Amino acid sequence: MTAAVRVAVLRWCGVRGNCPRRELSPFRLCIFWVEASDGMKVTEFLSPNAVVAELHGTTKAEVLRELSEHLASAYGGALRADRVLEVLGEREKLASTGIGDGVAIPHGKMPGLDRLYAAFGVSHAGVDFASIDKRPTHLFFALVAPENSAGIHLKALARVSRLFRNPDLRAAILGASTDPDIYRLISEEDGRA
């Protein structure tokens, strides 16, 4: 049986009146609830080669650059690091993707992609990512999706968010020391959840 997950999605409402919450003025971020199937698995779009046991960046910009580089190198030239960095950076300008509990999910859409691509990295020291709970962020799941893939993009965000709500998984990842160990932990939880 497939369960549904409610996910808060921030959308920029423009002046053309496309905001369903018309009482809000234009140019505000609005929260929408989206029902997303949890039938999707993170391991469908996260490669073992795209896991980094220790990120070295100490700022948001440095972590985004490092994740972008790992995304580009892990997928054999399907992505350009500079373009991924630009997309992730533009999304961060709207609002931080730090969702709290030490987790951030920087994400964005890119033209020309044929599928979802993801990278995962750990910062044991923690980074100020302007997280919603104002605490340091340790776990970073970067995701880029094809430009016209709103449904799949939202399902992927919902799946990642659901997976990393588990405090035992977060603690286990922080205790792991190698890329394969971290991927195994994610994969095992992905199979259970």
**Catalytic positions, written as ranges:** 107
CA–CA gap between residue 193 and residue 186 (Å, rounded): 10
3-state secondary structure of 57: coil
Burial of 112 (0-12, 13-18, 19+ CB in 10 A): exposed
3-state secondary structure of 7: strand
Closest CA to 158 of 40, 57, 77: 40
Burial of 127 (0-12, 13-18, 19+ CB in 10 A): buried
Element spanning 191, H or E: helix 179-192
Q: Which residues contact 71 (CB under 8 A, 6 or more apart)?
A: 50, 79, 81, 84, 117, 118, 119, 142, 144
Tokens of 37: 């199937």
